[in-house]
Chains A and B, each alone.
Chain A
Amino acid sequence: MFEAAEINAEHKDLIHDVAYDFYGNRMATCSSDQYVKVWDQIGNEKWTLTSSWKAHSGSVWKVTWAHPEFGQVLATCSFDRTAAVWEEIIGETPGPGERGTRHWVRRTNLVDSRTSVTDVKFGPKCLGLQLATCSADGIIRIYEAPDVMNLSQWTLQHEITCKLSCSCLSWNPSLTNNHPQMIAVGSDDNTAQTGKVFIFEYSENSRRWMKIETIITIMEPVHDISFAPNLGRSYHILAVATKDVKIINLTPIKDNSSIQSGLTKLDVQTVAQFTDHTCTVWRASWNVTGTVLATSGDDGCVRMFKMNYINSWKPVTVLKGDGAVIPNDAHRGSIASSTGVLTPPITQTASYNDSGSMVRNGVNYTLKPTNCPQHIPPRLFKRIRQSFNSI
């Protein structure tokens, strides 16, 4: 059961992306009005606007959080052909008991693209601080911050040409060294009659990113692409938002040729295809365990899909964008006859809250670490260490 609450984001134009942070207590929104806003959830109820700034000189397409181990870090990409990395800075505490002001500083501006940067994503944490961008001219760029404590230094490590205009990308979030680094890229090109989803893999042998697969069954423009979090599967699941929702299983095949070339061969299988939206599907997003896929389309609905115990994907929930919740009873399709409990949308005004409860460094108590180190994210530790050294 879902309860809907409207958040008055007060963006002056379309909101193009929202992103929860790692824990789900903060979120960032970005809009065509060139602003990025960061919100904090106090307790379990209200989202309060804590930061809002003009991030770019063009529409901000995407916003994404880095793993909190690297601090409070955001990346954005924009129509203005740049991608930027932002870090939240907590200012000097004005007095005892008061909180320092928080603001976001642009740590770097990645200006390599000659066209609109359509997507930006941080790589899996185990790879350090890596950032992938893709742009409308079909170039995928991989950046790396060699020193995770210095977010202003990023080096362009790889440039992969994809030929078609790229609209979205997704890192394979797999956590093991079983699988090499992998990126899936989707194209929104609507002229070429070719596959629109490309899988790239980092080859340790050649130290380059290589295209290992083009999913030729998807010829329609792709608007969003997303690897499911892989906590323990032997294969990868990719969700693609095109004119419908596609769920694709990518199973690595171990054979001689793949061992020789050092590149993974994939068995590509479309395991589910949903036309429930009956129109263009814009977004696809996974829950943290990779068991529920949410998609949204021009019909203004969020639809959720879940895999049942015999490994087949089934629609489970429909949420209307206007806040209504439609339970998925036996008669799918009869969405109009909604019997769901309609919660009146709660409008909340954005206001700056000065008594935020973000647990970050600043004036707070932390544990003495020698005994119980894992209680605090490592990054915090480094900070503590620094601050202690300076005493």
Chain B
Amino acid sequence: MSTISVLQEGPVNALALNKDNSQVAIGGRNVFKVYSIEEDCFKEICNLRASKHLNLSFSCNDVAWSSTDDNYLATAATNGHVCVWNLTKSGKAMQEQVYQEHKRTVNKVNFHSSEPYRLISGSQDGTMRYFDMRCKAAVATFLSNTESVRDVQFSPHMPHTFAAVSENGSVQLWDVRRTEKCIQQFTAHSGPIFACDWHPEATWLATASRDKTIKVWDLTTSKPTLDYTIHTIASIGHVKWRPQRKYHIASCALVVDCSINIWDIRRPFIPFAAFNEHKDIASGVAWRGDSQVFLSTSRDCSLIQHSFKDASRPASKANIQALDISTKGNTLFGMRVPVSTNTTKPTGLMRKSSTSTISDQFHQSASVLHQFTHVSVCNDLSSFEFLAKNYILYGRSFPEMCEHNAAVAKECGKSNISTIWKIVNTMYGELYVKIQAMHNNGGLNLMNNVDASSTEKKNNDVVGEAAAAQFSSADDDVEGEDQVDHTAVANGYHTYNKYGHPKGDFSFGENELDLELDALSIDYRNGMRNQNQLQQQEDWTLPNEAFNIRHEIRDRSPPPEQFPNNNSPDFNDDSHSSTVDEQPTWLVSVSKIPPMPIWDPSASLIESLKHHAEKGDVQTSVSVLIVLGEHRKNLKTLDENTVTHWLMGYIQTLERFRLWNVKALVIELAWIPSISQMNQQSTRINTNCSQCLKPLQRSGWLCDRCHSTDASRCSICHQVVKGLYVWCQGCSHGGHLMHMQEWFSKNKQCPTGCGHLCEYR
């Protein structure tokens, strides 16, 4: 059976199916019809509002169809009438009985399931009336002692019992033979109860309330027990147990939610199925005898037959897994786990059908949550913290900082970063400055171009060797002799050695400095130089130079296609470092030094910084840029936006690691106004004098009015604190940071003796 619908002329309040579920009666303020349910449509059989003499008793709040006699309908009218309709008759005679006994609108009518002619009504006036259709008046009246009765339902299990729910949140059980007092009464909800429904098989009563819950009560004992509570997203107007599915119940909301939800009461948080066909809130639900089809009416004027195969399953769209990575690289992972199914199920009443696989699994939902903690000693994130804390970014000479930072990087296993620092040192250290100075002065033309074929090689090697010598200066025994030779020949460079030695008070790495790395760094340089010169070759012009065009570069070391990774073994290749050993062949033949062809390492440096930034390592990029200081102006092609981006990235990462001091330092050293201004935001604090409460405006420590410095005296040494001042927000006493630290390492109470237990962290 498929989903079919029919539109009415007005909102529909209720529906009722006949006993063999082939016809449906619907009622509303302006609607009162009977349809037969065909295979693919609704066929109107009878319009009970066709009569010319319409009055308020034709407008229904509720419709009920006798379960014993197919010809009888009952309606609850808005004017307080309870009407009984005989479908075998026509015209005015159809309205067989009109009971005008309720003083206010009638909310519900309900036929007795086995006794013909018997029906009960619940009204807004707080009473329930029991009718026999053969009598002109009510057989019995029940006073609920509440303001209004919203629903009445005969129990399918106890023939004389009916349940009534009221707006004050109470449930009453009545015996139709005892009008004076209810059998049982209990408060079920904190808000009005709008509907109730007896479970067709179990002894459960479901109640639906404005408090957004559906509650399932077990009424076998004298004291009702709350077995299940379903939390819904809106006030519930109607509930109906699903036939043949013990744990399923259909609900429709009174506001907000237009869909009809089918819940598994064992999973009270998310609907098992939802039907979203209605455009306005649904007003009634009736199952067509089996579990797969039901009908519903809505305020959107429609009557719809829903087929379960068209249901949407909200839970299936739900994310069943949860995953996140922390700053420290820890990973949280929550996932659905199968719940062991060998739990004892209540047997007997539970029927299994072929389609029950989904429903069996549906209610068993649980997740496990694991944290995977990074335990390896050296990972990217721990080294980030180490580097951030140990880099020196200012206050020393450029080569010193580079050397130090290279050593720091090496110490935590980042030899590639260490190499960068060394290269930067070489490229922009004293050596580079000298070369540049020479170049700017027109060049020290000490030598002619003796051997054109070796010039290129020589240039390579001069600079390369100088760098190597500088690197190896920490362990001179390796290349000391070459170094001396060089110094003698390349007389422009004799100063470099002085600066080659780290002046800092750190000497680690001295013994660890491995040759491979030095060779490696030379390779970098050769590679980069070649690459660079190849680039320059294309637009090589000789505006001022007084020497011949040199021949094509003999490209001995292939330009590296990538910035090397420290894990890559290729760079320990011996073939490149062998170039260093060839020098003596030309060294002796040189009589003049050619003008230093100024090679600008900026392009390569920018490229490598960009490479690091793209690999997520802005720390290196930013630190190098900061240390470069004035040399930054050489990096002309590095645009400010990119650098700002890097700085922001580094600063944010420092924040994540709570490295506030480093962050403040980076901001302070930043040369880009938008970054360095960050230190000036939200930094004001206003203080009041502790004596006279006058705001301290002129200075933070002296009160203009009472000339007291009490507010800013250290509680320990009683001196005025200039500089870092800490205070307790609880007792407002404080003092020098150092004094406070010392005091609270031993004590818990405030040093002034005020008795406050300050918390110092």
Contact = CB atoms under 8 A, between A and B. Distances in A.
A364 B759 contact: yes
**Most chain A beta-carbon neighbours within 10 Å: one of B320, B366, B660, B757:** B320
Most A CB contacts (10 A, CB to CB) among B232, B372, B688, B732 go to: B372
A24 B327 CA distance: 5
Nearest to A116: B314
A224 B321 CA distance: 11
Nearest to B690: A391
A25 to B, nearest CB: 8
B562 A310 contact: yes
A385 B685 contact: yes
Contact of B729 (A283, A307, A357, A361): A361
Nearest to B652: A175
B623 to A, nearest CB: 13
A363 B730 CA distance: 5
B732 A391 contact: yes
A8 B368 CA distance: 7
A232 interface: yes
A210 interface: no
A361 B730 CA distance: 11
A191 B321 CA distance: 23
B309 interface: no
A59 B617 CA distance: 39
A339 interface: no
B616 A290 contact: yes
A321 B685 contact: no
A160 interface: no
A364 B373 contact: no
A307 B233 CA distance: 44
A374 interface: yes
Contacts of A337: none
Interface in A310-366: 310, 319, 321-323, 325, 345, 357, 359, 361-366
Given A7-B370, A9-B334, A376-B660, A364 B729 contact: yes
Contact of B724 (A6, A309, A367): A367
Interface stretch (B39-47, B572-580, B661-669): B661-669
Contacts of A4: 370-373
A29 interface: yes
B617 A289 contact: yes
Contact of A16 (B322, B661, B685, B687): B322
Nearest to B314: A79
A34 B683 contact: no
Contacts of A382: 682
Contacts of B327: 20, 22-24, 288
A59 B373 contact: no
B324 to A, nearest CB: 5
Contacts of A17: 319, 322
A13 B267 contact: yes
B687 A296 contact: no
A292 interface: yes
Interface string B432-445: 00000000000000
A4 B369 CA distance: 10
Given A288-B653, A365-B727, A373-B682, A20 B319 contact: no
A131 to B, nearest CB: 19
Given A363-B759, A366-B729, A372 B648 contact: no
A18 interface: yes
Given A57-B233, A363-B730, A18 B322 contact: yes
B681 interface: yes
A91 to B, nearest CB: 14
A20 B325 contact: yes
Interface string B623-648: 00000000000000000011011101
A285 B323 contact: yes
B724 to A, nearest CB: 6
B738 interface: no
A160 B309 CA distance: 32
B373 A2 contact: yes
Max chain B CB contacts within 10 Å: which of A97, A289, A308, A367? A289
A7 B332 CA distance: 9
Contacts of A116: 314
A345 B337 CA distance: 15
Interface in B181-215: 212
Interface string B709-731: 00000000000010111111110
A29 B334 contact: yes
Nearest to A174: B645
B588 interface: no
A142 interface: no
Contacts of B687: 388
B206 to A, nearest CB: 18
Interface in B314-356: 314-315, 317-337
A388 B688 contact: yes
Contacts of A294: 323, 325, 331
Contact of A232 (B614, B679, B688): B614
B325 to A, nearest CB: 5
A34 B646 contact: no
A241 to B, nearest CB: 9
Interface string B565-594: 101100000000000000000000000000
B323 A302 contact: yes
B329 A287 contact: yes
B28 interface: no
B269 A18 contact: no
B683 A370 contact: yes
Interface stretch (B374-382, B482-490, B523-531, B540-548): B374-382
A126 B376 CA distance: 34
B685 A381 contact: yes
A370 B700 contact: yes
Nearest to A359: B761
Contact of B335 (A13, A33, A47, A296): A296
A324 to B, nearest CB: 10
A62 B323 CA distance: 11
Contacts of A273: none
Interface string A20-42: 10111001010111100000000
B368 A59 contact: no
Contacts of A47: 371
A13 B652 CA distance: 36
B624 to A, nearest CB: 13
Contacts of B564: 309
Given A223-B319, A374-B660, A18 B334 contact: yes
B503 interface: no
A167 B336 CA distance: 19
B156 to A, nearest CB: 31
Contacts of B660: 374-376
A384 B729 contact: yes
Contact of B324 (A27, A290, A307): A27
Contacts of B727: 365-366, 368
A2 B618 contact: no
B641 A176 contact: yes
Contact of B317 (A7, A167, A232, A295): A167
A112 interface: no
B282 to A, nearest CB: 15
A146 interface: no
Given A1-B374, A232-B646, 15 more contacts: A4-B370, A12-B269, A23-B657, A32-B270, A79-B314, A97-B748, A231-B613, A231-B646, A283-B321, A288-B653, A289-B380, A309-B564, A368-B685, A370-B685, A376-B660
Question: A-B pairs with the 3 shortest C-beta distances?
Answer: A231-B649, A232-B613, A24-B326
9 contacts: A79-B270, A97-B759, A126-B648, A366-B727, A373-B679, A378-B681, A382-B682, A385-B684, A389-B686
Interface of A: 1-9, 11-20, 22-24, 27, 29, 31-34, 47, 57-59, 61-62, 79-81, 93, 96-97, 116, 118, 126, 136, 167, 174-178, 188, 223-224, 230-234, 282-292, 294-297, 300, 302, 307-310, 319, 321-323, 325, 345, 357, 359, 361-378, 381-382, 384-385, 387-389, 391
